[in-house]
Amino acid sequence: MLLENKKVAIIGGGPGGLTLARLLQLQNVNVKVYERDVNKDARVQGAPLDLHDESGLAAIHKAGLFNEFLNNFLPGADKTLITDENGTLFFSDHETNIEQDFGNEHFRPEIDRGALRKILLESLEPKTVIWDSHFVSMDKQNDGWLIHFKNGNSVYADLVIGSDGANSKIRPYITDIKPFYSGITMLEGTIYDSEKSAPVIHKILNGGKIMAFGNEKNILIGQKGDDSIGFYASFRASENWAVNNDLDYTDKTQILNWFKNSYPEWSNIWYELFENASVPFIPRLINCIPLDQTWKTLSNVTIIGDAAHVMPPFAGEGANMAMLDALELSEYLTCDDYTTIAEAISFYEINMRKRASKAAQESLENGEKMHSENSLKTMLAFFSEE
């Protein structure tokens, strides 16, 4: 096997990196995951993920973790309501979406990011994840890399795989191609103990999600498994909006006033979200890879997930693509079809860029539709076709 007697370092412990570590360990590969978080509880995990049969779920199956997934996914979290800016209901599948139809291409079971992370972490051998390991730089050493971390530690690896997100520090070692701004920004908020804190929205959600469209803007809301609600105000803005708007993201009153001024046509039913969210709110620029990106393969470093192909979230493909990256890369590196690690990486990267470009194009197109003048009509037609 290509990785026999090799040390593999995965930089970043998100869904892609942890899935890859699990799959490699099943093939007896010596792998470590270096994660900048100080421990597994250091960060609040984001909105739930919907896993797709051909990507995220395929990786879960190959990792031997489907039973654990079944014990932790959120039945009914994929149920959807579509409203206009006044909260008027135009679509609901709550009465028809009652079966957990695994294997159906349209069934996308959801799971909290924290629950998925826990499943993956517990599947790994002890001490696989090295916490408090904030990557700083790496230098070529022999046929591999000497990796340096902010805590002063340095380690050697024969193969480095960057799974460190959209602002990857591994990516610049491979390519100078940068993502571009899609023109859309999201302002993210979280409400804890939503049944008490936001009872109106909590009742309307009924464990599922709300997509509200109006005036070329959105509000996207989802119920999490811990009775918290994650929500996003999604709108077109300049690339520098997040730093030039003079908003204090820790001030709920100020953010509520921003919403009233920026979403003037929207009903006060949505105010409950901003009045009861924890702070700070988080602005998120929605970036995307150039659809024609390419680079020359290196023999001992590659990237997966957002580090390789950050894309808008409007097709639900981000985490799914990362987990599919992990699945495919693990297979390329552990099969007997290739004579060198560089050859295996090359085949992975070519295929990865091709399918990531297709997914990114779909996400960009969906983002345009969701922020168009006819967004409500367009999205109703889309959901009616499913």
pLDDT at 41: 80
CA–CA–CA angle 278, 281, 287 (5° rounding): 145
37 is in an annotated binding site: no
Below-70 pLDDT ranges, the chain: 43-46, 97-101, 103-106, 386
171 is in an annotated binding site: no
pLDDT at 118: 95
Place of tokens 């921003």: 258
DSSP symbol at 268: G
pLDDT in tens, 266-317: 999 999 999 999 999 999 999 999 999 999 999 999 999 999 999 999 988 9
pLDDT at 146: 98
226 is in an annotated binding site: no
158 is in an annotated binding site: no
* Rounded-to-integer distance, Cα 323 and Cα 16, Å: 5
Rounded to the nearest angstrom, the gap between the alpha carbon of residue 42 and the centroid of all alpha carbons in its chain is 18
* Rounded-to-integer distance, Cα 108 and Cα 125, Å: 29
Residue 80, CA distances (Å) to 45, 96, 174, 293 in order: 22, 11, 40, 35
β-bridge mates for residue 185, sequence order: 235, 285
pLDDT at 44: 60
pLDDT at 77: 85
Query: If we measure between CA atoms, which residue out of 43, 24, 66, 25 comes closest to residue 282?
Result: 43
Q: Are 161 and 301 in contact (CB under 8 A)?
A: yes
Domains of the chain: 7-74+111-178+290-365 (3.50.50.60), 180-288 (3.30.9.30)
Structure tokens at 182: 């899609």
pLDDT at 98: 58
Give me the phi and psi of 230, to 5 degrees please: -105, 135
Strand 89-92 with 80-84, pairing: antiparallel
